[in-house]
Structure 1
Amino acid sequence: MRLYLVRHPKPDVPAGYCYGRTDLPAIGADIERVLAALRHRNLPGAMPVYASPLQRSAVLARRVSTAPTFDARLAEMDFGAWELRHWDDIDRSEIDAWSADLLDYRPGGGENVMQVAMRVAAFLADARCADHAEALVICHAGTMRLLHALALGGTLRAAALRAAAEPHHIGYGDVMTLEI
C-alpha cells in the first residue's frame, strides 16, 4: 500500500503559538497554494482520501475529494492547557518535564505521545485492512511523523520515540510518500 501524506495548509494563528488540537481554519491563500502544488504532482486521481476532521485539514480534503473520510485518529496531539498559548509563556519547567519524558508526559494535561501513537497506529492498521493500493492522507506534522515511524517497524514505543525525537521539518502542504 502506498500512502501519500499531506500536511494541511498554514493555519490562521500567529507564529510561536501552540495549537495542536485547536480547530483553526487554514489561510485561504495557502489552501490555494497547496491545491496547486498537489495538482502539479499529478497524484493518482481515484484513490480514497482520509483526513483529520480539524478544519485546516478538512478544508483541503473537501477540495480534493467529493467523499473524503474524516478520522479523528488523524488529529494532531492535544496539548491541553498549552493550546493557544505562546511557547514563550509556557513555564520552562513544564517543557523540560516533557523533554525528560517524551512518551508519557502529558503536556498541559492533554495527550501524551503514546496515546497519540496508539490512535495513529489503529488508523494505520485499519487502512491496511481496507486493502487500497493507494490512499491520500491529509493530516498534521505530528501525525505524519508517527505514520512514518510506524512504517519503519519495531515496537509501538520505539516508533513513538522515533517520531517524538525527530526534528520537525515538514512544511505546510508538504507531501511524504510511504510504502507500507
Structure 2
Amino acid sequence: MVPITLPQRLILIRHGETEWNREGRLQGAQDIPLNALGRTQAAEAAERLKALAPDFAAFDYVASPMERARETMDILRGQLQLEPGAYRIDGRLRELTFGDWEGFTWREIRKSEREQAQMRERDKWGFVPPGGESYRMLAERIRPVLEELQRETVIVSHGGIARAVLALVGAVSSQKAALVDIWQGKILVVSGNQADWL
C-alpha cells in the first residue's frame, strides 16, 4: 500500500461510548446512540482539542453519518461554542460493516463461528465477515476522503476508520493497524506519517 501524505494535520475523534460498546457488541452498520459516558467523552474530546489547537474554529469538521458520530460531533461543537450543524457529513466515513456478526460479542462469535473467527485472527486486515467488509475494503473506501483534504480537519468517526487511516498514512503496517486500540474521549493527531494520542 502506497502511503498517503496528508497536506495538513488531521485530528481523528472516535465517537463516545454506546451501550453496545460497553457490552462488547459489534456495532458496525447499526445506528446505536451514545450513552451517558459517551456524552461525557465527547465533551472531554472538545477540551483536548481546545488545548491542542486554539485556532480550532478555522478547521474543517466532518462526521460519519451514523448517529453516534453525529451526536459526538454535536456535543464537541457545542463545547467549543461553534455553530451547531455547521459541519459536513461524509457517508464514506461510516463504520466498518460486520454483516451477520453485528449485535454479537466476540465471545459469542468465537463459540458459534469458531472456524471463521480463527480465520479472522490470522488476518484481521483482509478477513471479510459474512455479509460484511474487511479493513482492506474499508481503507479503499476512505482513501479518497484523505486525498481530498485541503486544510486542517477534525473527523469524528469510528474505530475502524481510525485504524484504516493509520495504515493509509503509513503510521503502522496494515496488519498492525487492525490490532490498534482506538480510544473514546481522546483525540488522535495525524501529521505526516506520525500519529499521537492526546
The TM-score bracket by the shorter chain reads: 0.7 to 0.9
Letter in 2 for 1:81: D
**1:69 equivalenced with 2:81 (yes/no):** no
Deviation, 1:159, is 4.8
Unaligned runs of 5+ in 1: none
Task: List 4+ stretches of structure 1 deviating above 6 A.
Answer: none
- Secondary structure, in 3 states, of the residue corresponding to 1:120? helix
Aligned-partner Cα distance in 2 for 1:28–1:66? 21
The question of whether the paired residues in 1 share the 8 Å contact of 2:42 and 2:73 is answered with no
Aligned-partner Cα distance in 2 for 1:141–1:33? 15
Letter in 1 for 2:154: L
Structure 2 matches for 1:10-29, cutoff 5 A?
10-13=17-20, 14-29=22-37
Aligned-partner Cα distance in 2 for 1:40–1:97? 38
Aligned-partner Cα distance in 2 for 1:25–1:92? 30
Percent identity for Structure 1 against Structure 2: 26
The question of whether the paired residues in 2 share the 8 Å contact of 1:74 and 1:143 is answered with yes
- Secondary structure, in 3 states, of the residue corresponding to 1:108? coil
For residues 14-60 of structure 1, the C-alpha deviation after alignment (integer angstroms, 9 at most, x for no partner) is 52211122111011442134214413541312211111111111112
Unaligned runs of 5+ in 2: 1-7, 78-83, 193-198
Pick one of 25, 47, 53 that aligns with 2:65: 53
For residues 98-123 of structure 1, the C-alpha deviation after alignment (integer angstroms, 9 at most, x for no partner) is 22333432113211221101012121
Provide closer, same or farther for how the CA distance between residues 109 and 147 of structure 1 changes in structure 2, counting only shifts above 3 A: same
Partner of residue 142, structure 1? 160
Taking structure 2 as the reference length, what is the TM-score of the superposition?
0.77
The question of whether the paired residues in 1 share the 8 Å contact of 2:14 and 2:185 is answered with yes
Letter in 2 for 1:80: G
**1:121 equivalenced with 2:148 (yes/no):** no
For residues 48-104 of structure 1, the C-alpha deviation after alignment (integer angstroms, 9 at most, x for no partner) is 111111111111223315311111211211000000012222122111112233343
Q: How many residues align?
A: 170
**1:161 equivalenced with 2:168 (yes/no):** no
